[in-house]
Amino acid sequence: RRFVEKATGGRWSYIRLGATNANSYNDFRNDLYRYGSDREGLIVDMRGNTGGNMADQMISCLMTPSHGWIDWSRGKNGYIHDHMGRIQFSGRLIFLIDEGVASNGEMLAHAIKTFKRAVLIGRPTSGEVLSTENMGLLDLGDFRIPHGIWFNQEGISMENNGAKPDILIEDNPSDWAKGIDSQLNKAVEAANTTIP
């Protein structure tokens, strides 16, 4: 976060989104408020996102259309947050993705790309989107059983079809060993241009 804020002159910030479950949704909302207020954009790092079931709620924090604004007496335009019912971020977005993004995390990446809400940077996601449910094994615990296939807006199954980045950036172990995050560097470069 410090790197992103310094490299963009404080215009952008950074949020880590490691899952799309209920706990990560609460953190996501808090982070949108804490790091998104008065920022031009956010870099959302989804790399390694293990999924969950809250992608739709997260999308609703990023995609509600604006129907008007207030011209505040102190010289800024905006909207009253408590009228929205939830935190909302309408600035620019860049999502970092990789093959570690799976399940409901992939659904979020697909949706953000489909609606052209963010630029995706990194490597394609894993293509592991199935609708599943828990089944009990008497007193031996639970296991997950698939019961449906998810399709994107083009009618393509998300299983074995990961979300593809708009900007493909391959990194390698030697970069990581040197402390270089080429995907994050590209995101900062994009943030400092007209992309997205």
pLDDT in tens, 105-156: 999 999 999 999 999 999 999 998 877 777 888 878 888 777 778 888 888 8
- In one letter, which amino acid is 108? L
Residues of the chain with pLDDT under 50: 82-83
| pLDDT of res. 83 | 46
DSSP codes of every residue in 81-135: GGGTSS----SEEEEEE-TT--THHHHHHHHHHHTT-SEEEES-------EEEEE
